[in-house]
Amino acid sequence: MNGSGRQETDSLVSVILPTYNRLAYLQEAIDSVFSQSYSQWELIVIDDGSTDGTVDHVRSINDPRVHVIALDHSGLPSKVRNAGLRHARGRYIAFLDSDDAWEPRKLELQLDDLRRSNGAGWSYTKVTRVDENGTSLSDGSIKPWRECSGRILADLLRIDAIVATPAVIVERALVEAVGGFDESLRVCEDYDLWFRIAPLSDARALSVRLCRVRIHAGSCTANRAEVHRSWVQPYTKVAAATGDRAIRVFCKHQCTHHRLTAAALASEAGRRAEAVSGFAQAAIHDPLWPQVWRSLAVQVIPRYLRNRLRR
C-alpha cells in the first residue's frame, strides 16, 4: 500500500491520524506524538474535508516529520486511514484518533516489547477512558480488560481481547497483507482489521495504560442498531475464511445475536418494518439456534398481544 515512492526506514513508526472537524482536540493528540520518548516517527494527518481550519493548522507546524493529506469528506474512517497507509513509509504503523492522546512512553514501551518477542507482529495496550474535559472515567461500566497475547483470534471474536485503535502498533507489512481497512464498513472497521491480521501473527498485550481515549457525544458516529448490524459483516468474513468448525459456529451465532439486538433496538424505537426485517433475517440465518426463538418470544409476542388487547 506504499504508493508514496519514499524509502522505507526500518526503525520508523508511521502515525496515522484521521480527523474531521476536531480542531478543539487535535492539538492535544499531536502534542502527545511530539512528547514521545521515542522520536523516530512520522505523523500523517489525514483530513476528511474539515471546515474548521484543520488543514491550515497542521500545515503551520514547522516539522518535516509532519505531513497532511486533504481529502473530500466521506465520513468513512476506514477510507481516511487507508489514505494515510498508502503514504506511510515506516516499518511500523501506529494509529491515533484526533480526539485521543498517548502517554509519553507509548511507542518506546511497545516497540521494546515487540523487539523482545519471538516474532509478534502487533501490539496493544490498556487505555484510560476520559471525558470531554480529559477527566478519567471509571471502568466499572465496561467489560474488564484482559491481557490476551499470542494468536488471539478467538479472544477477539469473544471480545475478551479489547483492542482500542489508538492502542495498536502493527507491522505495516501485516496490514498490507490483508489489504488494509475495509472501506465498505462505516463502523467496526477496526475489529474487522484485527480479525484479519490475528490469524497471521502473534499479538503482544501490555497491561499498561498508554492511551487516553476520549468519550464524548461527538465520538458516536452511528446509532446502536446500526452498530450491531455492522458487526455482521466482520463475523461473516471470519466464518468464510476459517477451517475451524467451532469458530464458524460461533461466528454464525454472533451474526444472529447482532441481528436480533439491532431488530430489538429498532422495535423499541418504533421502526417496525426495520425490526420485522431484522427478526426475519435472524430466523432465516440461524433457525435452529434457541436464542432466536427466545428473542422472538420476548420481543415480538408481548407486543402482538398488547396490540390485540387494545383492539
List, for residues 45-93, the tens digit of each pLDDT value: 999 999 999 999 999 999 999 999 999 999 999 999 999 999 999 999 9
Is residue 282 over pLDDT 50? yes
> What pLDDT does 219 receive?
59
Q: What is the mean pLDDT of the chain?
A: 91
Closest CA to 130 of 170, 109, 156, 103: 103
CB 53 within 8 A of CB 132: no
pLDDT (0 to 100) of residue 35: 98
Q: Output the 3-class SS for the chain.
A: CCCCCCCCEEEEEEEEEEECCCHHHHHHHHHHHHCCCCCCEEEEEEEECCCCCHHHHHHCCCCCCEEEEEECCCCCHHHHHHHHHHHCCEEEEEECCCCCEECCCHHHHHHHHHHHCCCCCEEEEEEEEECCCCCECCCCCCCCCCCCCECCHHHHHCCCCCCCHHHCEEEHHHHHHCCCCCCCCCCCHHHHHHHHHCCCCCEEEEEEEEEEEECCHHHCCCCHHHHHHHHHHHHHHHHHHCCCHHHHHHHHHHHHHHHHHHHHHHHHCCCHHHHHHHHHHHHHHCCCCHHHHHHHHHHCHHHHHHHHHHC
Mean pLDDT of 121-134: 95
pLDDT of 114 > 90? The answer is: yes
Question: Is the pLDDT at 310 greater than 60, yes or no?
Answer: no
> In this structure, are residues 163 and 124 in contact, taking their beta carbons and an 8 Å threshold?
yes
Q: What is the pLDDT of residues 13-33, one digit of tens each?
A: 999 999 999 999 999 999 999
pTM listed for this prediction = 0.90
Distance between first and last Cα of the chain: 62
pLDDT band at 300 (very low <50, low <70, confident <90, very high): low
Select the more confidently predicted residue: 10 or 201.
201
Q: For the chain, give the percent of residues with pLDDT over 70.
A: 92
pLDDT at 218: 64
Output the pLDDT for position 299: 67
